[in-house]
Structure 1
Amino acid sequence: MLPVSKTKSLQPETFEKEPSKIEKDGDLHIKRSPSSPQGGPKKRSAFEDLTNAKQNQAQVQVSKRKGGKSVSKKTQKSSVRQEALKNDENLKSAGPKAPREHLDSAKEKKPKTPEAPEEKADVDKLVEPPPYDDVDKENLRDPFLNAIYAKDIFDYMKDREEKFVLKGYMEKQPDLNIEMRAILVDWMVEVQENFELNHETLYLAVKLVDHYLAKAVCMRETLQLLGSTAILIAAKFDERCPPCVDDFLYICDDAYQREELLSMEVNILRTLQFDINVPVAYRFLRRYAKCARANLETLTLARYICELTLQEYEFIWESASKLAASCLLLALKMKDLGGWTPTLQYYTGYQVTDLHSLMRRLNLLLYSKPDERLKAVRYKYAHKVFFEVAKIPPLDVLKLEEQLKLNTV
């Protein structure tokens, strides 16, 4: 029997500036400045703007103020007359203008081009909402949720699953069997609960054990050392304050020395080539439950089903994302909360038919009689803190088959 410590477990702007004063003069918006020496702007006719008469007068006044030579009134009048004659010649050369009445009638007779119906249809298509619910839109202002990159992150983790595909390895282990692995995982669940570690740490530690056993031979006397060292590595990867080495030596009842644990840590990392960012089902499960807007009780039920699979050797080659999606769908069915939605299909990448086979196996796992040596998961989720979800009966096999045949599963 693997000893465990008796540590008590605790469950789980903008600043609006004062708008400047703007007055509307005809079709012009003129911004008044209180510091202007001429004061506010005055209305003026358009034809006065065509001449430089005012400019010349302003220049004369400026030259007078600056103490320049005085200009006689006759010279000023002659210059104004010359400018006016030039403007008259320019207007005559431009040719006769059409009467205003004809211009107005031409504008009225001009047919209005009706809006094309195709353009309206295109606009409607653009406004039409997508078939799925944008679950990250409401969390864009929270920088800790990384809502902008959330889907890209999980798509990347789903692609990484192909790199960590596991196959049967127990036949390569001369001194181990499936029951020993199940007992080790059961003990690791107790360690996670006693140290109050994250569930991601537990899932990652089990993955590290499986990937190490798939590449290296381990004897039964060092199997517990392998499990405790895997938890230490996973805790360093995921926890803010991971337990120290002495804590892991204590939970092993001082069966191993400090040098042995550190040596096993180096051995595991080198065997896995220091690539320990393995996608785990628990991360996908939390993401998918959020996309389904499931409550905490439904998520806890799905977590219970998913955690039961950690002890089962026949589930090691299932991809983490598919396993999480199947556990969530089975939990939704057990709680009678509907089935697979377009939103879940979009964010998971799985159709409901892709999950039928795995759902059947998970439901049978809930039906199976628990081993007397493997009680940690069922005892843990039978507590009130976890809504006693371990006591919820599984779906009837015939009822599940009927629901799987429906198109709205």
Structure 2
Amino acid sequence: MKHAVMNDENRSSNLGEPTARVTRARAKLLGSSSGLPPLYPSAKQDDKRVSRASLKRAAPDKPAESLAASRPHKKRAVLKDVTNVNCGNLYINCIDAAKGQPIRQDRKGSLQKKGKVEPACLAKKSEGVEVKVENIVDEIHDVKAEGSRDICPAVDLPTEPTEITNEEVSAAADLVPLKIDIKIFPQRGPSDRDEGALCIKEESLEERGVIDIDSRHRDPQMCSLYAADIYTSLFARQVDRKPSPDYMEKLQQDITKGMRGILIDWLVEVSEEYALVPDTLYLTVNLIDRYLSENYIEKQKLQLLGVTCMLISSKYEEICAPRVDEFCFITDNTYKKEEVVKMESRVLNLLRFQISVPTPKKFLRRFIQAAQSSYKVPSVELEFLANYLAELTLVEYGFLKYLPSLTAASAIFLARWTLDQSENPWNPTLEHYTRHKASELKNTVLELQDLQLNTKGSMLNSIREKYKQPKFKCVSTLRSPKSVESLF
């Protein structure tokens, strides 16, 4: 008998009753919904409520006329946008949409709570939704008022402004369709924006006979778009972080120029021993000179300063820098690890951690590229010879008075003249990228040629022996048959 009752409750009647079970909360909810016809449970449910009248409050009686006016089952309605309908229609549509859906057990409590909502609360919600609709209408009218204005200033462009009609939003809000004219202009990239400037630059370079070395490389690692700006910054910083050219005479009393030359000549051998890149050697010499320009040092600590500066440079330039123990070993354990670490702290604090400096090696890369722009095949001998001449200046204290860019340009000048005496080694392209005229290089080139010929008979031969190797094409043995002084 119990199973029969359950089957009667879950079976639809012939009067078009919904398949979902109707509870007291649902009946209360449907009864207060703007005159909707209530849904009645079956006769078994009436008997069940009568039997429980003593425990729970019975549902109110329904008029008999509404029983005949039961509505047929409808399909599930699609919920509309709450911003485009009023509160009453929203509430009715939600009830209609929920009629054909089975009630889940986990949502039973929430439905019962919703059934106890008073009409006053519903009225407040209706007012809130209407306020939102009014705000949206005001915003649409504001957009219409401002739509005729240009978003961007007037610019002569080949494209016409695009009209965007916002008919769907206005139709949903039961408003008159509004046309919002929005002018959309195509975005212009850096290449389009600077196209005119680039054309003017190319024309001026061609008129001057300068070859644009930045437009011929498609390799992204060459940074062709930023190379000019990078080297402009390097030209400016080389003056700020340049060591004092006369610190030996003004500050240092215990060391001499010869001691400095011996130290650097030994560091060249150390860099070869550990296969360090040339940038590490150049930066090491720069750190040594900058430290000696500001701090007095005794000759017993000069080698310690040298290995410490090479340790710092290795950490900055190398991928796999040598360890502190290796630098202690290369000095025959003259200094302990603690002394090297302490000196490293002193150097970095004195230099304020400014170890990114423009050295002649950085300018050589740019100038060699400009020097080979007219060659059909790049000259390896020119590159090795220019690097050899530039490294010779590291040992010589007298070259501290010259800027790194001037030293690099002089190395290019003398290297081109050593390899080819048929034409002037300087041309408009080199003058443009080095920012030095041939007349400005006279003193530097003449002193550099003295180093190349070793007119002073220096015994510091580490750099010469280094570039005598076949891998460097033995460029240290090359000499120019004609004097370079005849070019000035």
TM-score surpassing 0.5?
yes
Contact 2:419 2:480 in 1 (8 A): no
Answer yes or no: is the 8 Å Cα contact 1:340–1:352 preserved in 2. Answer: yes
Q: What does residue 251 of structure 1 align with?
A: 330
Tell me which amino acid in the other structure corresponds to 2:460: L
Match of 1:145 in 2: 222
What is residue 37 of structure 1 aligned with on the other side?
Answer: none
Q: Which residue of 1 aligns with 2:419?
A: 335
The 5 A counterparts of 1:147-166 are: 147-165=224-242, 166=244
Q: CA deviation at 1:389?
A: 0.8
Alignment of 1:45-64 (within 5 A): none
SS at match of 1:137: coil
Equivalent-residue separation in structure 1 for 2:439 and 2:433 (angstroms) = 16
Partner residue of 1:136 out of 206, 211, 214: 214
Give 3-state SS (helix, strand or coil) of 1:345's partner.
Answer: helix
1:267 pairs, out of 322, 346, 357, with: 346
CA deviation vs aligned residue, 1:58-93 (integer Å, no higher than 9, x gap):
xxxxxxxxxxxxxxxxxxxxxxxxxxxxxxxxxxxx
Deviations 1:180-215 (A, max 9, x none): 100000011001111111101100100100000010
CA contact (8 A) 2:280 2:318 kept: yes
> Deviations 1:35-74 (Å, cap 9, x if unpaired)?
xxxxxxxxxxxxxxxxxxxxxxxxxxxxxxxxxxxxxxxx
**Aligned residue identity for 1:239:** E
How far off its partner does 1:239 sit?
Answer: 1.1
- Once residues 362 and 266 of structure 2 are traced to their aligned partners in structure 1, the CA distance between those partners, rounded to angstroms, is 22
| SS at 2:216 equivalent | helix
Unpaired runs of 5+ residues, structure 2, are 1-198, 373-377
- The aligned residue for residue 445 of structure 2 is 359
What is the CA distance between 1:218 and its match in structure 2? 1.1
Answer whether contact 2:367 2:434 (CA < 8 A) is retained.
yes
Q: Does 1:205 align with 2:291?
A: no
Return the offset for 1:126: 8.4
**Distance in 2 separating the partners of 1:301 and 1:124:** 36
How many residues matched?
279
CA distances 1:234-264 after superposition (whole Å, capped 9, x unpaired): 1111111111111111111111111110111
Query: In 1, Cα distance between the equivalents of 2:352 and 2:469?
Result: 39
2:407 maps to which residue? 323
**Which is bigger in relative contact order (C-alpha 8 A, separation at least 6)?**
1
- Confirm or deny that 1:218 pairs with 2:297: yes
| Residue 361 (structure 1) shift | 1.0
Q: Residue 169 of structure 1 contacts residue 213 of structure 1 at CA under 8 Å; is this kept in 2?
A: yes
RMSD: 2.0
Q: 2:318 — aligned with what? A: 239
**Does 1:377 find its partner at 2:463?**
yes
CA distance in 2, matches of 1:237, 1:371: 35
In structure 2, what is the Cα distance between the partners aligned to 1:341 and 1:248? 45
Q: Distance in 1 between matches of 2:201 and 2:237?
A: 35
Give me the whole-angstrom Cα distance separating, in 2, the residues matched to 1:223 and 1:125.
50
The Cα of 1:368 is off from its aligned counterpart by 2.4
SS in 2 for 1:138: coil
Q: Which is greater in Rg? A: 2
Give matches, 1:1-150, under 5 Å: 129-130=206-207, 131-139=209-217, 141-150=218-227
Q: Work out the CA distance in 1 between the residues paired with 2:229 and 2:201.
A: 26
TM-score (norm 1): 0.65
Question: SS at 1:357's partner residue?
Answer: helix
Match of 2:384 among 300, 307, 314: 300
**Aligned position for 1:368:** 454
Please tell me the residue identity of whatever aligns with 1:362.
L
Alpha-carbon offset, residue 344 of structure 1: 1.0
User: Contact between 1:183 and 1:373, CA under 8 Å: does it hold in 2?
Assistant: no
CA apart distance, 1:157: 0.5
Partner Cα separation in structure 2 for residue 295 and residue 332 of structure 1:
10
Q: 2:473 aligns with which of 387, 390, 408?
A: 387
Deviations 1:278-336 (A, max 9, x none): 21001111210111115121111111111111110101121000100011001101111
Pick closer, same or farther for the CA change 1:319–1:378 going to 2, 3 Å: same
2:432 is aligned, of 322, 346, 361, to: 346
Deviation at 1:138, TM superposition (A): 2.2
Structure 1, unaligned stretches of length 5 or more? Answer: 1-122, 405-409
Q: What letter matches 1:278 in structure 2?
A: V
Note the C-alpha offset of 1:369.
4.5
Shift of 1:373: 4.2
Q: TM-score, normalised by structure 2?
A: 0.55
- Report the AA paired with residue 180 of structure 1: M
Deviations 1:322-374 (A, max 9, x none): 10001100110111164211111111111111111111111122222465641
The answer (yes or no) to whether the contact 2:324–2:337 under 8 Å persists in 1 is yes
Q: Is the 8 A contact 1:366 1:394 kept in 2?
A: no
In structure 2, give the amino acid aligned to 1:348: T
Taking only the aligned residue pairs, the percentage that are identical comes to 37
Distance of 1:196 and 1:160 partners within structure 2: 29
SS in 1 for 2:401: coil
2:201 & 2:255 partners in 1: Cα distance? 61
